[in-house]
A and B are shown apart, each in its own frame.
Chain A
Amino acid sequence: MTREELKSYVEGHFDGKLKSLDTGRYDPIFEIQPSDLITVAKALRDDESLKMDFLCNLGAVDTCEKLEVVYSVASTTKNLRLDFKFSLPYDNPEVDSIKEVWPGIDWYEREIWELYGINVRNHGNLKQFLLPDDWDQGNPMRKDWDAPDFIRMPEV
């Protein structure tokens, strides 16, 4: 399946829950609704011609207006790869945990909780792990984050 075929296949199936975006460069990227996350994840994994069984990456993005969460998944048997993402508001962002679909997402979800302050529902093990034990300065990966000893590199 080529990338174009993959794009049209995904758009045609799954009840139109994945809408193709043109911001992605190499592999196709889709937008979904945050409430559809678990359904979409399960459908992608269980679909016979996709078999997206491998979770590559989960990253959050702060665009200064809203937060975005991007999931990158791949198939080890069909050699396919795609991304899907959705936007979240700046205040009280929340996503569902999809540990039951891809268990390997566990630490990635902890990471976005810790560094971006995105609450993960039903995760069960949200504990600080990257930042120091006595950290009390908030979520440092947010663009508006600042601290007294944080020095920005001057423009050259």
Chain B
Amino acid sequence: MPDLRTQEYMVNMGPHHPSTHGVCRLILTMDGEKVVDIEPVIGYLHRSLEKVCENRTYAQCIPIMDRFEYVTSMSTNQVFSLAAERLAEIEVPERAEYLRVIMLELNRIASHLLFYGTTAMDCGALTPFLYGLRERELIIDLFEMTCGQRLTYNYIWVGGVSKDIPPEFEPKCREAIKIIGEKLDDYQGLLNENPIWLARMKDVGILDPDLAIAWGVSGPVLRASGVKYDLRKDDPYSIYDKFDFDIPTLEAGDNFDRYLLRIEEIKQSIRIIEQALDGLPEGPIRGKVKANFKPPEGEVYCRIENSRGEMGVYIRSDGSKKPLRVKMRGGSFNQLQVLPEIVRGKGYYIADLVAIFATLDIILPEVDR
């Protein structure tokens, strides 16, 4: 029998592909059915948000920031407001800080529920998608009754929040987090011992902690690799230092741990919301801020922990009412950069790649901006 000649070949995946959660293109180098190398091609959602922000006043920037990371747009509001407040040295009333924490944590739960649904759908299970989005609607209802929007909230403003919560918010919120807390067991019961799920998740896509830190990976992906690094504890912003909560970490750093860690994070977020609702003080919801305030000349880089890791914004002010430069940093940008490092040389199949992509929880607006 003559010698068989083999050669590597290229496969294009995306930019329109259901499992890439948006518009990401991956150029795969394949050896038979195994992935040898990946080259991500991004920019299909590059909307030049940074350029748009340069010609808006600080208050007008916040709706633009909403589009930077729409799954948790409360945190984009928060990071921009926090940076502008540090730049202009604006005080925030205590009630507003409590409301911010409640909204941020509710949004983190909503984001993780979406993760739960879409990841399971990428692996072929449709039921978790319906379950996850069913409970997410409870949270969306709470946002809607507060600020009138379902997705892009424009709620957290420089110096406070835009509106106070309606009186029926608190009982509804307590009910919603109670339901979600109870349903978490159902969620795990659907997947945790499912052999198909375990085959797709266990020991697939292992990310080494040293590699993760060197590549700037943060958030749940980093903590699933065993690094206890959460900005809510390590670099506390807002009033996170007042609450009692844990930072869950897991050791293996594979797909399964990344999934399990997010479920644990939902439990911790519920704890924070309960404490914040109990301690919610009366008082004003917004400090005295002019609509077109002019921060003094200077620059600040400000970062918070959102559901995808470190979200940061760098603002440079030249003393006018518009920022000279706004640079946004999203966790997904680094998580997508590290994807070739996870996959290269491990001999994963395309199906594994889809699962790894899903558990890194990359969304593309954060990458492309």
Contacts and interface: CB of A to CB of B under 8 A. Distances in A.
Q: Do chains A and B touch in the complex (CB under 8 A)?
A: yes
20 contacts: A23-B297, A24-B300, A25-B298, A26-B300, A29-B299, A54-B216, A56-B301, A56-B303, A59-B325, A61-B325, A63-B318, A70-B301, A70-B314, A72-B301, A74-B235, A76-B213, A79-B235, A102-B214, A104-B338, A129-B41
Contacts of A56: 216, 301, 303, 310, 312, 329
Interface of A: 23-27, 29, 53-57, 59, 61-63, 70, 72, 74, 76, 79, 81, 83, 102-107, 129-132, 140-141, 152-153
B312 A72 contact: yes
B100 interface: no
A123 B42 CA distance: 19
Interface in B303-352: 303, 310, 312, 314, 316, 318, 324-325, 327, 329, 333-334, 337-338
Contact of B314 (A57, A102, A106, A132): A57
A140 B87 contact: no
B334 A104 contact: yes
A55 B216 contact: yes
Majority SS at the chain B contact face: mixed
Contacts of A62: 325
Contacts of A63: 318, 324
B42 A59 contact: no
B42 A23 contact: no
Contacts of B213: 53-54, 76
Nearest to B295: A25
B216 A27 contact: no
A130 B42 contact: yes
Interface footprint category on B = 35 or more
Contact of B329 (A27, A57, A140): A57
Nearest to B333: A107
B55 A153 contact: yes
A59 B327 CA distance: 6
7 closest A-B pairs by beta carbon, nearest first, are A104-B216, A59-B327, A130-B43, A104-B215, A25-B300, A57-B329, A130-B46
B50 interface: yes
A104 B212 CA distance: 9
A83 B218 CA distance: 19
Contact of B302 (A26, A55, A105, A107): A26
A76 B298 contact: no
Given A70-B314, A76-B227, A129-B42, A102 B216 contact: yes
B197 interface: no
A104 B210 CA distance: 12
Contacts of B327: 57, 59, 70
B234 A79 contact: yes
Contacts of B303: 56, 81
Contacts of A54: 213, 216, 218
A149 to B, nearest CB: 13
A101 to B, nearest CB: 9
Given A104-B214, A104-B337, A107-B337, 4 more contacts: A27-B300, A56-B216, A57-B329, A104-B216
